[in-house]
Structure 1
Amino acid sequence: MTTHYFTASSLDGFIATTDHSLDWLLKRDVDPDGPMAYQEFERTIGALAMGASTFEWVMRHDGRRWSYTQPTWVFTHRSLDVPTGADIRLTQGEIAAVHAEMVDAAGEKDVWIVGGGDLAGQFADVGLLDEVWVQYAPVTLGAGAPLLPRALDLELLDVARNRDFLCGRYRVVRD
């Protein structure tokens, strides 16, 4: 089982604008069946974690529908509207304890830290982030939510081009 942070970033290192929008990303061309594409990656995932801002963006973007079938933990300190029938668990729990629940729920599949960067960093802080996958879009934002606001040592495992995107897969190096 591997815990991944799979995300897209602007060339200047932001995953969302200052108002938490990803609209800049959706204007770019990607081959859904191409190298390091989201669809193939998502098939390997058994549980998801995300922050409240990411959850709210997904809900707005998908017209208040929930498209994931995997159990999802949303880290939040506020009340959020959860769609009926979705396996979404709002949590304020400790990262290590929640990660253990996620691993159990994922079965033989992997865990995906969807976003944001600070949440992925919190998993890294306690040694529970294994890989970082970044799809770099040919755009700069100038400001916004940083890709990963932590100092991490990474080892490059793979690179690819998927139409507009430069894709990199890294292993988190631990002492």
Structure 2
Amino acid sequence: MGERTAGKVISMATMSLDGYISGPGESGFDRLFAWYDGGEVEVDTARPGMTWRMSPQSARLLLSDLASVGAMVVGRRLFDLTGGWDGRHPFERPIVVVSHGVPDGWPRPGVPYEFCRDGVGAAVERARALARGRHVGVTAGSIARQCLEAGLLDEVWISLAPVLLGGGTPYFDGLAVAPADLEGPYLVVQDPHVTHLRYRVRR
């Protein structure tokens, strides 16, 4: 498969040093995401009252990332864990939720969430249309694994937190196409609380 000319499909996540995006029993988020409040640069979000304070390095990178991502694909598990972000995702992007059904109370008027019951491939295609040429961000865990297995994933973006969780949900859980080779990192950004790494999926 050749290089895509449209926006790429990118998996984005904060991961512990031992490879987990959450700890046992959905724990460890305070340690994983300490870098969101580890600096002096204020980064406003779409959520009322939610402002992050990051290092200059992380703030510049996050703002650049947000400008490049036009839509997101998430799994039903994350959607349920966050309560659908109360209808207002911090990144304020169209979101396609991969789900076998539509949860009670959804969709809601004015909320840019869609529910796709036809699998991750169809969800990515819908997100591409919504992204209008920009990147599609996909969440880690099951969605990232399915995208990689289907040959849909172009890049893996990792924010590596200096913590060992000892178990939980791996970034790529139960990968059927392992070993999978990545190229890079082509970008490394460090701050005192996190190391941001960017890899390309080798095809």
Name the TM-score class by shorter chain. Answer: 0.7 to 0.9
Shift of 1:26: 3.1
Q: Secondary structure at the match of 2:153?
A: coil
Asked if residue 110 in structure 1 is aligned to residue 135 in structure 2, the reply is yes
| Alpha-carbon displacement from aligned partner over 1:117-164 (angstroms, at most 9, x marks no partner) | 221110111111000010110111111110112222101111120331
- Distance in 2 (alpha carbons) for counterparts of 1:135 and 1:50: 18
CA contact (8 A) 1:37 1:162 kept: no
- Given the two structures, how large is their TM-score scaled by the length of structure 2? 0.75
Structure 1 letter corresponding to 2:92:
T
Q: Indicate how the Cα distance of structure 1 residues 96 and 26 shifts in structure 2: closer, same or farther if over 3 A, else same.
A: closer
Partner of 1:124: 148
- Distance in 1 (alpha carbons) for counterparts of 2:127 and 2:69: 11
Partner of 1:88: 113
- Distance in 2 (alpha carbons) for counterparts of 1:122 and 1:166: 25
Equivalent of residue 2 in structure 1, options 3, 8, 13: 8
Partner of 1:97: 122
CA contact (8 A) 1:11 1:139 kept: yes
CA contact (8 A) 1:59 1:66 kept: no
Q: After the TM superposition, which of the residue ranges 154-163 and 31-40 deviates more from structure 2? A: 31-40
Q: Indicate how the Cα distance of structure 1 residues 39 and 58 shifts in structure 2: closer, same or farther if over 3 A, else same.
A: farther
CA contact (8 A) 2:98 2:120 kept: no
| Alpha-carbon displacement from aligned partner over 1:9-36 (angstroms, at most 9, x marks no partner) | 0001000123234233233426364257
Paired residues, number? 171
Runs of 4+ in 1 over 3 A off after TM superposition: 57-60, 81-84
Work out the percentage of aligned pairs sharing the same amino acid: 27
Higher relative contact order (CA 8 A, sep 6+): 1
Equivalent of residue 95 in structure 2, options 72, 75, 97: 72
Equivalent of residue 30 in structure 2, options 23, 28, 46: 23
Q: Indicate how the Cα distance of structure 1 residues 59 and 163 shifts in structure 2: closer, same or farther if over 3 A, else same.
A: farther
- Given the two structures, how large is their TM-score scaled by the length of structure 1? 0.85
Asked if residue 163 in structure 1 is aligned to residue 170 in structure 2, the reply is no
Structure 1 unpaired stretches of 5+: none
Partner of 2:45: none
Q: Name which one, 1 or 2, has greater alpha-carbon Rg.
A: 2
Partner of 1:56: 80
Structure 2 unpaired stretches of 5+: 1-6, 40-53
Q: Secondary structure at the match of 2:147?
A: helix
CA contact (8 A) 2:20 2:169 kept: yes
How well do the aligned residues superpose, as a CA RMSD in angstroms? 2.2
Structure 2 letter corresponding to 1:86:
V
Shift of 1:108: 2.1
